[in-house]
Structure 1
Amino acid sequence: MMRCFVSMLCLLIACSFARADDAPRTMLRAHLEPAGPVVAGSAVKLVVDALTTSWFTAAPDWPTFEIHDAFVTLPDDNALNLNETIDGVQWFGVSRVYRIVPRASGAFDVPALSITLHTGGTDTPVTLQTPPQTFTATLPAGAEGMTSFFPAPNVTATQRIEPQDGKLEVGGTISRIVTQHADATESMLIAPVQFGEIDGLRRYAKPPATRNISADRTGLVAGERTDTVTYVVNRRGRYALPPIDIEWWNTITHQRETIHLPAVNFTARAAHEKPLWEIPADALAGAARHTVIFLNARDVVYACIALACIVAGAWFYPRMRAAWERVRRAWIAARRKRAEGEFAAWRALKQATDSGSMRRVIPALYRWMDANPRFAHPARVDEIAEPDLQDLAKAVETHYERAESVESGVRVKLHRRMGWRRSRRARGPALPPLNSQ
């Protein structure tokens, strides 16, 4: 009986060991290619192998990680199936390659990666870690002091500003778009553009847009990276987006080169806001959007000047209007006086004399004598003392006696006196002196 019990116990132990040997086994391997120092800008491969003695029910969870001053990528097209015999045991698995591109010189530490494996024959996932790795990168001669070492056969860069017309108001936005094109380089390896903060503007950076340009036969041709930043204007004024310098290492000439993008200047004016007193009260009561009015010292000065002009105009307008009326009345009086004065009477007399009609000459002569202050009022023809005009006076007296027309000789003499009469200005009293006795 005892011998039977011992036999059964040994059988159970053997079966337990057999089940333990049948449990799937897992393993992670990791190494760097190349293992020695590399030149900054060249790719270092981190090869990670996930192995099991059974099979994978799901793909391993490949994590992502970052290394300072280096680009780390995990391409989707580099998975490789494994089938190996290790110490007489058959192993199956998959291999993935991380690409690490250092941007500067120095030592780089690759952290340990935690990878979860889903194997067949067990319901519990297994999480393993890769050993940490270390590699060293150096810079070629002449590349020392570069902010970011970026090697490529050729690099070009352009910038675009939106809106292009530069018409901005407070609260508006302006976008600066920089596109880099690098030959024979993946877009993910192109260094990002650094946009700084600007006083008076609020900066919003957008995610970069990258694309690889490939050809059917040659494969990768170039890579493009587009960085976009948007600035929101907080206050009015003049602004300048600083210039951008992009450094890169020319792998053909083995020299450092720089691409310079010029600064961008623009002016933002105050927003045309609706005055607060024009907003309906029910709109404010309903929690409507408030209107913000931006004012600065120059706006206040302009408002004060405009107000002073309005007040001065209201104060001076009645006085200026009265002064204008006085000037206008004086001008009208002067014109009337000239039209009714000696000069106008003399011109009418000349025209009447030229016509040769005594019916026109006699009234014109008496009108001129009445307008002349040297004659008494009422004036008489016999008071004419000028020798040249005495012929005209005699013609008038003869007209009453014989009713004849004025002679042509008188007309000629009157023409000769015209220039003298225009320039002469008598300054005598309009009325005869009063009798002082």
Structure 2
Amino acid sequence: MSALSRMPRLLVWLVGLSLWLAGDALAANPFARATLATKGTIYAGQQIEIDIDVFVPNYFLTPPQFPLFDLRGAEVTMPDDRGLNLNETVDGEAFSGIRKTYVITPQAAGNYALPTIVIPFGYAAVPGQVTQGKVTVPRLKFTVEAVPGSAGGTPGVTAGEIIITQTFNRDPAGLLAGDALVRTVTTRAAGLASMMIPEPSLKAPEGVQVYQHDPVLSEERTPRGEIAAGLRKDTATYVFAEPGTFSLAAITLEWFNPQTGKTETAEADGAEVVVGAGPATKVAIAPPAPPQTKEPLDWLWWSIATATVLAVAIVIQFAANLFGRLETWIDAAMTRKAQSEETAFRHVLDACRNHDRARLDVALDRWSRKTGNVPLAKWFERFADPETRVAFARHRKSRYGTPQSHHERPDFSRLRSGLKSARRRWLDEFSDDGDEALDELPKLNPVFDSALRQNR
């Protein structure tokens, strides 16, 4: 059979192979998943969590952009800016994923569905190349029940636990007319955002003025950074102008506990305020004082006072200018320090010390670009010893290798010491002083800066 007669078969085989490879590549497409993390019956006013997962074949090159969407009849927040990294195998294909958790508080009973959410990102469809992609999140549906016993269709307050505490800045039973009493009420609600905690009633009794301050909202977090409860602090100042006994009303808040299915009440006790009469004003029995005679103007005293004021003003102006220049010089020095090669490399060592693989890659990339050591592989070949190159290769494999290799633990201690030694050898080529410190450059090194600019 001649070569020409074999050409059609070869072309058919090549076309079939390319179609098979293309079908294999198209089969592994990015996808999204929405999961209702809160289990059990959902009630109006209850804070629930929805997990949104985005998966891509291989790995992400630019992170997905999760939007904060609107949902009619509900409050939507995303309290945690950090994402959870995921790994999953689907039909024999390895996928990398990132999860974000949305916190939704439905205000009324009914059926809810997520709106259309499109999330863009970049990933390595072909290793080493950025492919722009996007996914549409499935429209997750959930049903919200009315709180048992709620009136008028209002959602009320739904939380895991609510505790109300209060403090006074002084003893309420020991006031005098004209005194002020500061009352601080703190409400802690587990499983409820601080903005959803109702405002307590801090009304004043008749004859008492009250000045209510702006509330302070915050969150109580676990050691892992997760939100455990919402906190609301309200402060009111009561002013008692007249003596007497006054009653500050107790503060109560009813809420529905979805875990027990019952309505519970949190309360802070009221207070009895006893205000005594202030000190009597003394009336002096004496003839009226004679009118004061107008004394002549003391020009010498006023001249000395004016000169003193001018001298003080000049000194203050001079000191302000001096401190302004000093502050500018300090800011410039700190900026140079923060942007120096020494600081960039310290970030690399900190990432090794903390065993933070993602942070190590970012720090190495910034250091190599700052110093002109691009590509970084050439720098490793020239200045790093074999053990350091092996440790760095294992780190890269654990980051971008197969899903099984992600569980390997790189030798960060060896990598850290090897990077320090390699940097020392690299610095020796750009420094005229061979007795520099092993770990650090001087804060200001014009010899190094000059050599570095020539290298670029």
Q: Same fold (TM over 0.5)?
A: no
Larger Rg: 1
Q: TM-score, length-normalised on structure 1? A: 0.40
Q: TM-score, length-normalised on structure 2? A: 0.39
